[in-house]
Amino acid sequence: MTSKERIRKAIHHTEPDRVPYDLGGTTVTSITKNAYRSAMKFRGLSPEYQVQEVDPVSQIVTPTEENLVYLGSDTRRIGAQRIPEYGQRKKRDGKIEFVTDFYGCDWRWDPEKDLYFNQISYPLEKYDTLSESVQFLYRPDWNDYLEILRRDLASQMKTTEGYCCLADRHVAGLTENSLRIRGYEKWYMDTVIDPAGVEALLDIIVEDKIRYWDAVIDWAVQHNCQDQIDVIAECDDLGSQSSTIIDPDTLRQMIIPRFRLLFGHLKKRLPRVKLFMHSCGAIRTILPDLIDAGLDILNPVQYTATGMELAGLKRDFGKDLVFWGGGIDTQTTLNNGTPGEVREVVKKVLDIMAPGGGFVFAPVHNIQDDVSPENFWAMWETLQEYGKY
């Protein structure tokens, strides 16, 4: 069974030969540069990664094709880099690096002090109201941006044959981008005192997402490879550890209808594709709304958040949702447990989530620097041994 066949069976809620595995299929199911290098060196594998860091802000890399084959990852990513042409566009002040993202947010990284880039500017924060400032929102020149995107797609598509091809988003989600653009405190206040401004900004972000996805799909159609795309991956962190980030009714009013619009557009363009959404946190209360909006696949399945217990999710939503993630928690066991504890957790998760298909193994979010090589390989080996149907 090929990787593509394996995941297609799983996402259609049937059991393949083994539980599918994703490493590097999206920017939220991957691994940081330092954790990757350590894990590969531990096993005697090349620590090199693909030339461009797919998300330098979060220090996320894509393993080399040779290592992806060794690891048995069933996925391959296509899509924009978070900072296109990062190597050419980054700026330096001594060892400190600076980058600017799609919406003009500036980020700073000191390699001697920081694990990741830290955001240092919020483009619309200085204005009194969001309504008056939306017109000043920065976006890059689309012609230049799309030229780089098409070049990346042509290179990336060469490695997708026989694998599940995930087309990944170019920017973060609706609320995530809004918070970065406006500033956290002001945006949360805006949802109460300037909802019209909040919705105007959300509409711009949705418009940009549709434009991006149309460019990806148009390129695929032009090159007669649209049928290779199995999954389209979107995101928005709508939950905290204990609740949704704002009142669920506000999400139902402002955010979810816009995902319904986006999902509907994507389904119209590629009816066969499955829609993947990454949202951390305690979002059980809005899962029915997201399903109704067209969601097929949930990631990262943060089972340590309130209400997100795996058995309950599988029981109540397993017929409607594919769970892509939840393989082991990266905040507790994978980073702080022993290899033996890692193995036991992976076995327990597989016992709950694997039956009947509808499950793709990945940790809860990206593997971080604090995950030891011993724990990485304990997770991987347990999946290989215990993940067979």
Cα distance between residue 366 and residue 57, in whole Å: 13
Q: Please report the pLDDT score of residue 152 as a whole number.
A: 96
Residues 79, 67: contact at Cβ < 8 Å?
no
Sheet holding 118-119, edge to edge: 91-93, 96-100, 106-109, 118-119
Cα distance between residue 59 and residue 227, in whole Å: 31
Q: Please report the pLDDT score of residue 50 as a whole number.
A: 85
Domains along the sequence of the chain with CATH: 3-88+124-386 (3.20.20.210)
3-state secondary structure of 44: coil
Cα distance between residue 205 and residue 177, in whole Å: 8
Our measurement of the distance from residue 346's CA atom to the centroid of its chain's CA atoms, rounded to an integer in Å, reads 21
Mean pLDDT for back-to-back runs of 10 residues, the chain (389 residues): 98 98 97 97 95 88 96 98 92 96 97 96 97 96 96 96 98 98 98 98 98 98 97 97 97 98 98 98 98 98 98 98 98 97 98 98 97 98 97
Q: Please report the pLDDT score of residue 51 as a whole number.
A: 67
Q: Please report the pLDDT score of residue 366 as a whole number.
A: 97
Cα distance between residue 340 and residue 210, in whole Å: 45
DSSP state of 252: I
